[in-house]
Amino acid sequence: MNKIPFLDLRLEKGDELDSILSSIKKVLVHGKIINGPEVIELENKIASFCNRKYCVGVNSGTDALYMGLKSLGICQDDEVITTSLSWVATANAIAMTGAKPVFADIKNDLNIDPASVERLISKKTKAIVAVHYTGRVCDIDRLRKIVDKNELYLVEDAAQAFGAEYRGHLSGSFGDVACFSMNPMKVYAALGEAGLVLTDDRAVYDKLTALRYNGTVNKEECLFPGLNGRMDTIQAAVLLQRFEKVFQIIEKRRQNAAVYHELLKDYVTVPGESNDETHVFYTYTIQTDKRDELKQYLENHNIETKIQHPILMSAQVPFIDCRRDTLKCAKRVVNNILCLPANEKISKNEIKRVCNRIKEFFQK
Ligand SMILES: *Cc1c(COP(=O)(O)O)cnc(C)c1O
C-alpha cells in the first residue's frame, strides 16, 4: 500500500504550478523584491476580507504576534495570559516583548478555558492571547467580556484559523490585534515564511509599520529599536494567487472532516463543531487514551500522523517557572491528541483506509 503522508507541499504540475510561476515572474520583472506592490495589494485584500481597517504584512506568524504585542505597548513586568496548548511561538512572542506568559487551562475542544483565564488575572495582566487552535474559533464572546471588564487587550493568534467563522464573524475580526501565519503548512499558505497583523487602530498600525522595519519611519528615521520583519513580495504574490483557491481548500478539508466524523465517532473522540461556527480543520485532531499505540499501528500501516503539540507550552524549558492554572484538562489531553492526515490532497478512499485501520486497531 502506498504511503498516506500527513502533508504534501509539492505543487501540482499544470495549472497551479503555472499560475504561481507567472505571478512570481511578475515580481522578478518589476524588481520590488521586499514590501512591493503585491504586499500592499494583499494587505488591502485581507483587511477588507476580515472587515478590518488596517493590515500589515510581515515575515512570519511569530513576527506578527511579537510585533502585534509590541504595538499595544506590552513590555517588561506585564503579564499576558494565554492557552497552555499551542505551538510554542505563541509563548515565545509574549516572552520576547519582555512580558511574562501566564498559562490557562483548555477545555475538551482544545481551546482556552475562559474560566481559567479569569482565575489568572492579576494587577499585572495586560492582555490575553487567544489561539484559535486546530482551526476552530475559541470562546471569543466570553473572552471579550473578560477583556472589557478588566480593561485588557485581546490579541488573536489566528495562525491556524484563516477563514474560520463564529456567529457570522471571521477569525481575525475579533481582537484589538489579530495575527495570521501563512507559512507553507497552514490552510492559507505561502511558499515560504509569511504573516499578517490586523487592527482597527491607526496608532497601532503606525507602530506596526515602524516595528516591521527597524523602528523607522520614512525608511531612515529611527523612533525606537526594532528588528526587520518585512514580507517578501514573492510571498505576497503567491498568496494573492492562492486567495481564490483557499475557499475550495477549506471546503475540501471540511468534507474530509465530515467523512472522518462519520467513520470514527464510535471509536475515538472526534472534533466538534456547533451550528454557528465554521471550523477550517488546520488539523483534524482526535483524542484517545491509546494514542501512542494507535500512532505506531498507523505508522506500521504506512499512514503518517502527527502530534500537535506533544509538549504543553507551559512545560517547555523557558516557561517552567511561569505562573499557571492547575492545567488539569491540558495535562490529560496532551497525551491523547493525534492529528490525522486530512489536508485537501487526501482522497476519500485514503480517509476510508485510515478509518479502517483505526477500527481494526480498536477491535483487536
Ligand atoms: C504556525 C503558528 C504560529 C507561528 O507562525 P509562523 O509563521 O510559523 O512563525 C503561531 N501560532 C500558532 C498557533 C501557529 O500554529
Q: In this structure, which residue's CA is closest to atom 6 in ligand 1?
A: 61
Please compute the mean of the pLDDT values over residues 98-103 and round it to a whole number.
98
Grid cell at residue 275: 451550528
Among 153, 154, 78, 155, smallest CA distance to 122 is for 78
Q: Please identify which residue in the block is written with the cell numbers 484517545.
A: 288
Distance 207 CA to ligand 1 centre (A): 22
Residue 219 has pLDDT above 90, yes or no: no
Separation of CA 263 and ligand 1 centre (Å): 30
Short-list 193, 195, 198, 189, CA closest to 44: 198
Q: Which amino acid is at 151?
A: E
Mean pLDDT, rounded, for 314-327 = 98
* Alpha carbons 81 and 126: distance in angstroms, whole number: 8
Which three cell numbers, joined as nine digits, stand for 330?
491540558
* Averaged pLDDT for residues 136-151: 98
Predicted local confidence at residue 138, as pLDDT: 98
Question: Which grid cell sits at 276?
Answer: 454557528
* pLDDT score for 359: 98
CA distance 146 to 131: 16
Give the Å distance between the CA of 185 and the centre of ligand 1.
9
d(CA 283, CA 86): 12
Q: Which atom of ligand 1 is nearest to the CA of 132?
A: 13
List the residue whose alpha carbon is closest to atom 14 of ligand 1.
159
Q: What is the pLDDT of residue 347?
A: 96
- Phi and psi (nearest 5°) for 270? -100, 155
Q: Under a CB-based contact definition with an 8 Å cutoff, are residues 58 and 67 in contact?
A: yes
Question: What does the pLDDT read at residue 145?
Answer: 98
Pocket probe for ligand 1: among 65, 80, 84, 87, the residue whose CB has the most ligand atoms within 8 Å is 87
